[in-house]
Amino acid sequence: METLEKTRIEKLNKLKDKGVEPYGASYNHATPLKEVLDNYSEEEEGKKVRCAGRIMTMRPHGKAAFFHIKDWTGKLQVYIKLNNVGEEKYDIFRLLDLGDIIGVEGGVFKTRTGEITVFADDLTVLSKALLPQPEKWHGLKDVEIRYRQRYLDLSSNDDVMALFLKRSSIIKSIRTFLDGRNFVEVETPMMQPIPGGAVAKPFITHHNVLDMDLYLRIAPELYLKRLLVGGMERVYEINRNFRNEGISTRHNPEFTMMELYQAYSDYNGMMELTESLVTGLASELYNNFDIPYGERQLDLSPPWQRSTFSELLSKYASVDLDDEGGLKEKGKEIGIEVEGVHKDVIAEHIFGELVEKELWNPTFVIDYPVTICPLTKSCDNDPSLAQRFELYIATMELANSYSELNEPLEQSKRFHEQITSDDKEGKIDEDFLKSLKYGMPPAGGLGIGIDRLVMILTNSTSIRDVILFPLLREQS
């Protein structure tokens, strides 16, 4: 056993010998520390407060000591003196360490250096820490440890705590925005008999009682559309999706998506909604549209650029969407597999390699080839193109949207074509196709990656920084 832990266990036992419960019961009616600081006034000097937190610093001075406690709202200084709390309580205090969680009661005053402080009348041990916190001045810096031991990251790095509280606030604001537009929040299955709504490799599990394989959802789309058929005209879900694919600074196998559907709308309506939502969040957080990201600035000022897939492919990859030979040549040039691959799929891969990295400020990429959009209505003026957009900000795809295909026979045809072209297992959600036969209203659908949105709005360049517990490789 390490010396530090052994020493703390010895103190733990001494507390027990004194009749102190080192892992105390509840400590109700404690005032948040920020509230204590904000409510201080010289007119009410000495006003009694009750608060709780983790000991972060200690400066003993014989028969007295200053120390700081911290909760998730802030940090507060406490002054404890033998003559004030008595010998029994002060002996208990001497057995405390950095990282211990305590409750304190006392009057509030301001020191000669101007720091608001609680003069302790009483002290209660709530949790004895057997391991020390990271070094107080520098916090936890090792990235690997930060992700694996997020509890230490949160308790020692104020910026990390603030980021995750901000994430929670962003999601709350999204709900408020959608509720204000008369959307209703719903829940759809996370375990599905047929993975659908996106092209991705699923995680597979097995239900023992029913003796059937199930898939963790890759998208909630087909279930949300069933609700449109049922008459729920504006629905959204902030959901967890699972894709058995790569891990990077922009990808985590388990991620959060906000997906919504609005009857009688289309992808133009979704562009307006998306732009209003994201600019509203930016204004709420920064009070302007010029925000930092990495080493650059992002200009989120509306209106946002709208460019077709074909235009951007020509501009940044110097190849025409209709030029199959040119696409194959460009694909070979950059190391993309082209033999036996549809030209539109080649174009999509070229776009990912050469175009995405050029899209810094918000850009709606519109009108994709219909062959790679099996759930999307075709453009009225060109049936080879789909009424779809993807939103790119800071070179990342942030949102995906369609004018939803609601024609059951065409949808069935595309599903079968997709299976043939992708050489899949051949699973089609026949119940979804049946639901379309009962009539689904025209609709706009939208998916926004919450983790990536939080990355942009909090100036975080790795998705692991905005997910409390990202998936990590097992330690050897």
Q: 183-226, pLDDT tens digit by residue? A: 999 999 999 998 888 878 999 999 999 999 999 999 999 999 99
* Integer CA distances (angstroms), 388 to 18, 172, 380, in order: 70, 27, 13
Q: How far apart are the first and last CA of the chain?
A: 21
CA pseudo-torsion sign 45, 48, 51, 54: positive
Give bridge partners of residue 248 from the DSSP assignment.
251
DSSP 293-314: ETTEEEE-PSSPEEEEHHHHHH
Q: Quick one: which H or E segment has residue 344?
A: helix 343-350
Q: Which residue has the tokens 């266990």?
A: 9
Burial of 423 (0-12, 13-18, 19+ CB in 10 A): exposed
Residues in the chain with pLDDT values less than 50: 137, 423-424
> Do residues 403 and 440 touch, judged by C-beta distance below 8 A?
no
CB within 8 Å of 41: residues ≥ 6 apart: none
Contact yes or no for 156/389 (Cβ under 8 A): no
Rg (CA), the chain: 29
CB 214 within 8 A of CB 191: yes
- Answer yes or no: are the C-beta atoms of 307 and 363 closer than 8 Å: yes
CA distances (Å), origin 461, targets 249, 275, 452: 7, 22, 9
Residue with tokens 């009750």, as numbered in its chain? 50
Mapping DSSP onto H, E and C, the string for 136-203 reads: CCCCCCCHHHHHHCHHHHHHHCHHHHHHHHHHHHHHHHHHHHHHHCCCEECCCCCEECCCCCCCCCCC
Give the per-residue pLDDT at 424. 46
d(CA 387, CA 376): 6
Domains of the chain: 3-133 (2.40.50.140), 155-304+361-465 (3.30.930.10)
Name beta bridge partners: 376: 404
Half-sphere exposure of 383 (CA within 13 A, CB side): 1
This prediction has a pTM of: 0.92
Contacts of residue 264, defined as CB under 8 A and 6 or more positions apart, other chains included, come to 233, 441, 442, 443
Half-sphere exposure of 36 (CA within 13 A, CB side): 34
**Alpha-carbon span 279 to 271, nearest angstrom:** 12
User: How do 290-293 and 296-299 pair as beta strands?
Assistant: antiparallel
Rounded CA gap, 217 and 205, in Å? Answer: 11
Residue in this structure with the two tokens 């937190």, named with its chain if needed: 53
Non-local (6+) Cβ contacts of 37 within 8 A are: 74, 76, 116
